[in-house]
Amino acid sequence: SVNIVAFGNERDDGFSEDSQQPSLIRSYLGRSALISQIDSSLSASHVGNPVFTEYQACVFGNVRLVVHDCPVWDIFDSDWYTSRSLIGGADIIVIKYSVNDKTSFQELKDSYVPMIKKALNHCSVPVIISAIGARKNGVPCTCPLCTSDRRSCVTTSEGVQLAKELGATYLELHTLNDFYIQKYFGGVLEYFMIQSLNQKSSEKMKKRKKMQKCHRVQPPQLEQPEKMPILKGEASHYDADLHNLLCCCQCADVAFYPEDLSTVVEAHKIILCSVSHLFMLLFEVKSPADTHDASIVRMAQSLFAVEAGAAFPPAPRGIPPCVPPVRVVVKDSVFCSCLPDILHFIYSGAFQWERLEEDIKKKLKDPEKTEHVLEKVKCILKTPGKLNTIKDCRSHQIKRLYNTSLRLFFNTPVLADVIFKIQGATVPAHRAVLVARCEVMAAMFNGNYLEANSILVPVYGVSKDTFLSFLEYLYTDSCCPASILQAMSLLICAEMYQVMRLQHICELYIITQLQSMPSRELASTSLSIVSLLKKAKFHNSDCLSTWLLHFIATNYLIFSQKPEFQDLSVEERNFVEMHRWPSNLYLKQLADYRNYVHSQKCHCTVM
C-alpha cells in the first residue's frame, strides 16, 4: 500500500463548504486513469469543520492507496498526536496553498513548517509543495527581484524558498484542469508512488532473506582470543642517576680546591670530560693540538692548575689506593665559590641555564661578577670552533652530549679505573658510571668486598657479548638486542645486577618480536617458547612469564603439536588448557556443524 498525507487549503476564500472550487486531491483521484474503487469518509472535530478526509482507492491495478486530506492546519494545534501519527505513517506528503492567500501562507511558513520538520526528524519522506491558482493582480511574475505582487499574493520565489527549506519538490498549478492535474501533479505524485513501492519491495525482500537465514543452521561463531597482559615501560632515570652521583660523592676521582686550600669540591673525570672539551684537555684526554681552539686552551690554563703533592688534604673518600686522585686548584676565587652550583648544573644534564643564572645571581649579588662566571661556564661547555652562545648551554644540548660523549668512553681504556675479566678477555670501565647506574655495583665497589680495592674484577655466569651490551646500557641508557635469545641473556644479566628498567626493556623486546612473528614462522621456528618461559620464571620476570603463558594458550593449535609442549608443568598445562584458543567448546560445535552439513548433502559456503 501507499499512504499519502495532504495538508493545507488550496481555495482562494479559505475553507468553505459552499465553495465551488474543486479540491486538488479529489480532482486527481477522480480524473486519474490509474485510480479505481474510490471510497471516502470524514473525521470531524465539530460539525461542518472536518479535520481530515480519508480516501481509499486502488492504484496500478492492485496496490491499495490511502490518502488523508487535511484542509485545515488546526490539527497541529488541537491534536498533535494525530498529526504526528499521520506524518509518521506517510510515504508521500503533499502541502497545498493558494497563491492568493498570503496570510495563510505566512502562517504555514512561520508556525507549521517547523512542526512538520520536527515530525519528519530527518526521515527520507518525499514532500511535494503545490502552489495553486492564478495570481489575481496580474500575470504571475517569476522574477525573484520583482516585488509588485508580494503584498497580496505569494510569489514564486517565496514558494521555492519554502521548498528548499523542507527539501521538497515545488509545483505551480495555475488551474486545476486535466493538464495540471493528470500530467503535471499526477506525474510527479505517481513517480514518488513507484519509488515508495520499490523501496518497500526491497525492504520486504531483505526481511524475507533475513528470516530464511535465521531458520538455517548457522556455523559456530569463533570468539576473539583473550587479551594478553600489557607491559608498561619504565621511565628513564638516567639524568637523575648521574646527578645523584655528585650528591653522594661515591668514586670521586677529582678534587677542586681554592688557592688557600680551605675547601674541597669532589667530582668525576668521566662525567666532566663527557660534557666539556676543556676538561678533556685538563685531564690529558686530549692534547692542545687535538683541541683546535685556542680560547679553550687559554681558559684551561688561566682557570685551573692540576697539581700533586703531600701538601693537599687527604684524598676524597671512595677512591681505591691504587688510583690516586687528581687535585685541581681553581685560580679564580669567584668562580670557585660558584663551582658547586656549576657542577650541579652539569651533572643534572644541564638542569636549566636559566636556573643556573638565578643561583649564581643570588650567591654573588653582583651583575658584573655574575656575567664573569657565566662567560667562563659557556667557555667550559663550548664546542671547539663554534661561537660561544647561551644557546649552546640549553638543557637539550647537554643531554645530547651525555648520550653521545659517554658512549665515546664505553669499552675504552681512557680514564678507566676498573677492568672486568670475562671469558679470558678484558673489558675496561669507569667506576663512577657503574656506581651511578647500578645499585649492585655501587655496593660492590663501596662495601667490604674485594672489588672495592681491586682494579681487576672477574665476572662469571654471563657471556662477554651480553656483558658488553649490559655496560652499553649503563653508559648510554639504550640497548638494541640482535635477537630474542640475546634479549633473554641480557634480561638474565639485568636481573643478576638488579637493573630493573633494562629488564623491562628486554621483556618488551621479546614480546614485540614474538607478536610480529607470523603463524607459519611460529610453527617452523626452532626457538623454544617453553624454554623462554622457564628462564623468565627462574629469573623472576613475572610479567614476561605470564605473557608467554597467554601467548602459548592463544596459539594452542601450534604449540600443542611441538615436543616442548610436554615440558610444561601441570599447573602451566592447566592454565593453557583453560585459556586455550580456539576453545574445546568451539571445536565441538564446529564438528557438529560439519556433520550437519554433510548429512544435508549441501555445500557449505563458510567451510
Higher pLDDT among residues 575 and 1, named by residue = 575
Q: CA nearest 271: which of 415, 378, 411?
A: 415
The helix (run of H) or strand (run of E) holding residue 542 is helix 542-554
Per-residue confidence (pLDDT) for residue 149, from 0 to 100: 46
Average pLDDT (388-417) is 66
Mean pLDDT of 498-521: 94
Mean pLDDT of 401-415: 79
Domain ranges of the chain: 2-136+151-203, 249-309+322-403
Q: What CA dihedral angle connects 414, 418, 424 and 425, to 10 degrees?
A: -20
Distance CA 553, CA 547 (A): 10
Q: What is the mean pLDDT of residues 30-36?
A: 62
Pairwise CA distance, residues 218 & 605, whole Å: 11
For residues 9-16, give the mean pLDDT. 65
List pLDDT tens digits, range 192-250. 888 888 888 888 888 877 776 655 667 777 777 777 777 677 888 888 898 899 888 78
Q: Which residues of 145-164 are buried (b: 16+ CB within 10 A; e: fewer)?
A: eeeebeeebbbbbbbbebbe
Query: Does the pLDDT of residue 473 top 80, yes or no?
Result: yes
Is the model more confident about 397 or about 120? 120
What are 457's three cell numbers?
674484577
What predicted TM-score, i.e. pTM, was given to this entire model?
Answer: 0.61
CATH number of 249-309+322-403: 3.30.710
Say what the pLDDT of residue 549 is: 95
Among the residues of 98-155, which ranges form H helices? Answer: 102-107, 113-120
Look at 19-33, 38-52, 558-572 and tell me which has the smallest mean pLDDT: 38-52
Q: Is the pLDDT of residue 322 over 90?
A: no
Of 399 and 360, the structure prediction assigns the larger pLDDT to 360
Q: What is the C-alpha to C-alpha distance for residues 106 and 96, in angstroms, rounded to an integer?
A: 13
pLDDT of 236-269, one tens digit each? 888 889 889 988 878 888 999 999 888 899 999 9
Question: In the CATH hierarchy, which fold is given to the domain comprising 2-136+151-203?
Answer: Rossmann fold (3.40.50)
Is residue 307 within 8 Å of 254, Cβ to Cβ? no
